[in-house]
Amino acid sequence: MSEPPRPSRGGRYVLTLAALVALTAASWGLAQLHLGELGPAIALGIAAAKASLVALLFMEIDRYGTASRVVAVVTVVFIALLCLGTGADVAMR
Contact footprint for other proteins (CB under 8 A): 1-2, 4-8, 10, 13-14, 16-17, 20-21, 24, 27-28, 31, 39-40, 43-44, 46-47, 50-51, 54-55, 57-59, 64-65, 67-68, 71-72, 74-75, 78-79, 81-93
| Rounded Cα–Cα distance for residues 56 and 74 (Å) | 16
* C-alpha separations of 75 from 14, 21, 33, 67, 82 in Å: 28, 25, 32, 12, 11
| Rounded Cα–Cα distance for residues 90 and 93 (Å) | 6
User: CB neighbours of 55 closer than 8 A, spacing ≥ 6?
Assistant: 61, 72
